[in-house]
Amino acid sequence: MKVLLVEDEKKIAEFTAKGLREHGFVVDVATNGDDGLGMALIGEYDLLILDVMLPGRDGWSVLTELRGRGTQVPALFLTARDSVGDRVKGLELGADDYLPKPFSFAELLARIWTILRRGPVRQPTVLAIGDLKLEPARMTAFRGGTRLDLTPKEFSLLHLLARRRGEILSRHYIAQQIWDMNFDGDSNVVDVHIRRLRIKVDDPFETRLIKTVRGVGYALDDGA
Ligand code: CA
């Protein structure tokens, strides 16, 4: 999951980005509205977190511009303002939610998962592939009722494969989505993590879900 955070208050931006990264998100940060708009237009984000009061172009203007160009990425406004009028304005502009500052990280995370579940990606509460079950909001995964002990990165990787079940995802795409890095050809970070994931997700069980497509990438499929 890739998130763009547009926030000019350094402390809030750092604390929010750090928390999201710890929960397996890839986070880009912009500190003004114009940069935010530019990044949102070219980056493939799953969610925008927009502060309203920004230097230059404000958060509302960023979203208005994006919606005007047909971008449907879900957006959550983060702001000190808490009047009903502002809330209504944000929602009318096509925001998915609105969180007044100060906020707790737990609440932000809960709102994010609510938005992502109903957003264009249509995240169900539980993703099931064969006997594999993922609960993204809790970052937990089970196989046949056994809880898998995954790191946040491993969970993100499994979640990505599960969301795109049956599709072959290239190493390049996986590296971009999970590590926010451009694959340099020599890096085997994806292969290493797939190997670790297999030890936990596939080795103890009868059916292997993670498939290698030689020379291309990986897919997750229960073969059904
Ligand atoms: Ca601000």
**In this structure, are 57 and 105 located in the same domain?**
yes
How far away, in angstroms, is 109 Cα from ligand 1 center? Answer: 20
Task: Find residue 147's DSSP bridge partners.
Answer: 142
Last residue of a domain, one of 62, 91, 118: 118
How far away, in angstroms, is 132 Cα from ligand 1 center? Answer: 42
Q: Up-side HSE of residue 96: CA atoms within 13 Å toward CB?
A: 21
**In this structure, are 78 and 137 located in the same domain?**
no
How far away, in angstroms, is 13 Cα from ligand 1 center? Answer: 10
Last residue of a domain, one of 87, 118, 149: 118
Cα angle: 141, vertex 221, 45; to 5 degrees: 70
Domain limits at 96?
A: 2-118
**In this structure, are 9 and 76 located in the same domain?**
yes
How far away, in angstroms, is 53 Cα from ligand 1 center? Answer: 4
3-state secondary structure 137-178: HHCEEEECCEEECCCHHHHHHHHHHHHCCCCCEEHHHHHHHH
**Which CATH number fits the domain that encloses residue 73?**
3.40.50.2300
Q: Give the C-alpha separation, 162 to 145, whole Å.
A: 17
How far away, in angstroms, is 36 Cα from ligand 1 center? Answer: 13
pTM: 0.60
How far away, in angstroms, is 42 Cα from ligand 1 center? Answer: 23
How far away, in angstroms, is 197 Cα from ligand 1 center? Answer: 40
How far away, in angstroms, is 187 Cα from ligand 1 center? Answer: 38
How far away, in angstroms, is 51 Cα from ligand 1 center? Answer: 6
**In this structure, are 41 and 93 located in the same domain?**
yes
Domain total for the chain?
A: 2
**DSSP, residue by residue, 6-24:** E---HHHHHHHHHHHHHTT
Q: Give the C-alpha separation, 36 to 63, whole Å.
A: 10
**In this structure, are 106 and 6 located in the same domain?**
yes
Q: What is the pLDDT of residues 152-193, one digit of tens each?
A: 889 999 999 998 888 899 888 888 888 876 666 556 889 999
How far away, in angstroms, is 79 Cα from ligand 1 center? Answer: 7
Containing 27, the helix (H) or strand (E) segment is: strand 26-30
Q: What is the pLDDT of residues 122-155, one digit of tens each?
A: 445 788 899 999 988 778 999 988 999 999 889 9
How far away, in angstroms, is 99 Cα from ligand 1 center? Answer: 13
How far away, in angstroms, is 83 Cα from ligand 1 center? Answer: 16
How far away, in angstroms, is 49 Cα from ligand 1 center? Answer: 12
**In this structure, are 113 and 6 located in the same domain?**
yes
Q: Give the C-alpha separation, 58 to 78, whole Å.
A: 12
Q: What is the pLDDT of residues 72-114, one digit of tens each?
A: 889 999 877 666 677 677 777 778 888 888 899 999 999 998 8
**In this structure, are 54 and 131 located in the same domain?**
no
**In this structure, are 137 and 204 located in the same domain?**
yes
